[in-house]
Amino acid sequence: MNPRYRVGADIGGTFTDLLVLDDASGRFAIGKVLTTPEDPSQAVEEVLCETLAEFQISASDVQHLIHGTTLVTNAMIERKGAPTALLTTAGFRDSIEIARETRYDLYDLMLENPRPLVPRHLRFDTPQRTLADGSERTPLDTPFVKQLARELFENGIEALAICFLHSFTNPAAERAARAAVKEAVPAMRVSLSSDVVCEIREYERASTTIANVYVQDLVEKYIRKLESRLAALNFAGNFYLMLSSGGIATTETTLRFPVRLLESGPAAGALAAASYGKAAGIADLISFDMGGTTAKICVIDEGKPLLANEFEVDRVYRFKKGSGLPIRLPVIELIEIGTGGGSIARVDSLGLLKVGPDSSSADPGPACYGRGGKDPTVTDANLLLGYLDPKFFLGGRMSLYPEKSRSVISEKIAQPLGISLEEAAWGIHQIANENMANAARVHALERGKDPRRFPMFAFGGAGPVHAYRIAASLGSPHLVVPLGAGVMSTVGFLTAPLSFDFVRSWPVSLELVDWDQANRLISQMEKEGTSLLANSGVATEEMVHHRHVDMRFIGQGHEISVALPKGTLGSNSTEELSQEFQRVYAQIYERAGPPVPIEIINWRVVSSGPNPQVQLRTQNAAESTGEPLKGNREIWMPERHNFQSVPIYDRYRMQPGFRFSGPAVIEERESTVIISGTSDCHIDEQYNLRIQLEAPHAP
């Protein structure tokens, strides 16, 4: 049999999800198991074996396996990377600690700055100086670099980041330093800032380069171990990894630039939302992905997730910009908050109910898992409210224990607050809703988007339970829940193209651009992209190059991304770019810019292959025919201050055209949709559940 199946695998904080898709028919099989934190590849192997057996195929039938992981994020947060040193231009060893010389919170007297991955005693001034125009003022002291590399390696330092001043204009000194290190200590891992992020801003460039080499060894060991597990299963297809930018890459590229994996899982969910939205004729929507540990929210605008060229990891304060380590790489722009099914509820010192951001994770998990959890969580609350069926969690493969939820919520929430068990559970549920609604509202408004005109696309294991009331709180016109919502991030892996990002810094006033030089610069990046895509098996006629520039008014501190005109650039491009910059600026800030000259800072190219299409179909006739109504169950309705019996529907028996009204519960194996208002609902041609929103009354 010719391989025709594709697999997406996503490791989350609580569950590892997997989807096997038959491209020819749209048939699919879904797997979900608890994540194995000590060795994440174990859970991937386990869920792959289970799901392939259910699909009755072997690993040798799989053509592509695309994977996303939180390994890099966790390693940086937990400081579990390799012992790393930094070589920088003499006089600049403290630039990563001085940072931007600003306070991210002016009024916090106890303010903490993010702790660099490299302590001061491992940051070294290197005799070398390159000027802003790329000329060499002080040549590199090669013997110094060799001797330092030997001493570092002898003292247990395994990784070295090299970030010299102005190396984005001339990388020769960094490359010479790497050659010297490799000659002295071949086993030393080395990352150059001119390779990792070739653009201006010393602090961000150094921080990103350090992060890259800091996790390189960890990522390589993990990937090689997973490849070994796959080989033992007779998998011989292509193995790709999801990047933060929404593209996928080969393992070789990923091992060179592992820092690009930082947001790989959340990025996949946003891609799935964009792909399904376009197929359903909804170009603008809010993607809402809630799992066991976090909730991720992303604005999809004109069929594409919003992108950013920088983000932060390991923030001292979760929502304070500037309190984390900056990573200067393309990333799908989303907000991630510590609210998930496993988020822990508590009564604080002021007697107020709080939910998250800490989580019970996979081990021990919520109390109702029966694995030793002692704290009340959002999942425990949802179980007591009747929103989850304890006998149908993960399709009945995992039992839940309501009595354990009842015990911990009563002891730690209801009794301290002097309220009933149901009120305590509803309080947990509603606070989680408000946390996520507020985050979504701020995220959209800060990007110039009105959440009231954006439908919500909800998925994740816990997302559909909460989505109805969150969407209503935002004023969204309607809610869309896809088939297979519980593992929708894995679908995102299968919609992602092979993709590579390139950037070159060339600051120049728009009026003074040498367009011949600009064309040469862009052509060079496109050739690099073409070569990488060709080596990955993409046909030339299927390659696409998207070109952008980072622009700003002269004197501003930050830029906005503007698309370059198609074709060869020339003198007429000046006016085209000026008008497009003014349009994008006005769209973001809702006002015209000042009468100030404009400049270009960075030139960018994204080279990608074709976007695969995914459309899930119900798996077999026995499962998809028959009456969708399964029965009735009582769920908590806060408007009534009581439980109400509502119909329960089988998601897999709901065919396109099926219509019903809320309130109702819709169950599939990995997620449950709660509709707590009298909304009109139907299944569209893409098997999405469409819910016309009628905001529920406040309890």
* CB atoms closer than 10 angstroms to residue 53: 12
Contact 457, 640 (CB under 8 A): no
Contact 66, 241 (CB under 8 A): yes
Dihedral, 514, 515, 517, 521 alpha carbons, nearest 10 = 130
Q: Which of 535, 520, 510, 525 is nearest to 597 (CA)?
A: 510
Q: Which of 384, 393, 391, 319 is nearest to 356 (CA)?
A: 319
Dihedral, 503, 507, 513, 516 alpha carbons, nearest 10 = -40
Query: What integer pLDDT is reported at residue 458 of this predicted model?
Result: 95
Most confident of 76-80, 307-311, 621-625, 683-687: 683-687
Q: How far is CA 333 from CA 261, 269, 284, in A?
A: 14, 12, 15
Q: Which helix (H) or strand (E) holds 634?
A: strand 629-637
Average pLDDT over residues 249-264: 90
Q: What confidence tens digit (pLDDT) does each residue in 90-120 have?
A: 999 999 998 887 888 888 888 888 889 999 9
Q: Which of 502, 483, 526, 522 is nearest to 624 (CA)?
A: 483
- Phi, psi (rounded to 5 degrees) for 4: -135, 5
Return the sign of the alpha-carbon dihedral for residues 316, 318, 321, 325: positive
Question: Which of the two residues, 86 and 200, has the higher pLDDT score?
Answer: 86
| Band of residue 625 on the pLDDT scale cut at 50, 70, 90 | low
Query: What integer pLDDT is reported at residue 624 of this predicted model?
Result: 55
Q: What confidence tens digit (pLDDT) does each residue in 362-412 have?
A: 778 899 999 899 999 999 999 999 999 999 988 888 899 999 999 999 999
Residue that is written with structure tokens 């004109």 in the block: 302
Q: Which residues pair with 162 in a beta bridge?
A: 87, 192
Contact 489, 332 (CB under 8 A): no
Q: What confidence tens digit (pLDDT) does each residue in 222-239 have?
A: 999 999 999 999 999 989
* Structure tokens given for 254: 């990923």
Exposed/middle/buried for residue 26 (C-beta within 10 Å: 0-12, 13-18, 19+): middle
Q: How far apart are CA 534 and CA 511, in angstroms?
A: 36
Q: Which residues pair with 311 in a beta bridge?
A: 327
Q: How far apart are CA 422 and CA 39, in angstroms?
A: 38
Query: What integer pLDDT is reported at residue 694 of this predicted model?
Result: 61
Q: How far apart are CA 130 and CA 136, in angstroms?
A: 5
Q: Is the peptide bond before 364 cis (omega within 30 degrees of 0)?
A: yes
Percent of the chain whose pLDDT exceeds 90? 59
Return the sign of the alpha-carbon dihedral for residues 390, 392, 395, 396: positive
DSSP readout, 76-133? HHTT-S--EEEEEETT-TTHHHHTTS--S-TT-TT--PPPPSS-GGGEEEES-EE-TT
Question: Domains in the chain, please, with CATH?
Answer: 89-214 (no CATH), 264-339+431-495 (3.30.420.40), 343-429 (no CATH), 499-608 (no CATH), 622-692 (no CATH)
Average pLDDT over residues 326-348: 89
Inform me whether the pLDDT recorded for 698 exceeds 50.
no
Query: What integer pLDDT is reported at residue 316 of this predicted model?
Result: 77
Return the sign of the alpha-carbon dihedral for residues 480, 483, 485, 489: negative
* Structure tokens given for 529: 């992209």
Residue that is written with structure tokens 């020769």 in the block: 172
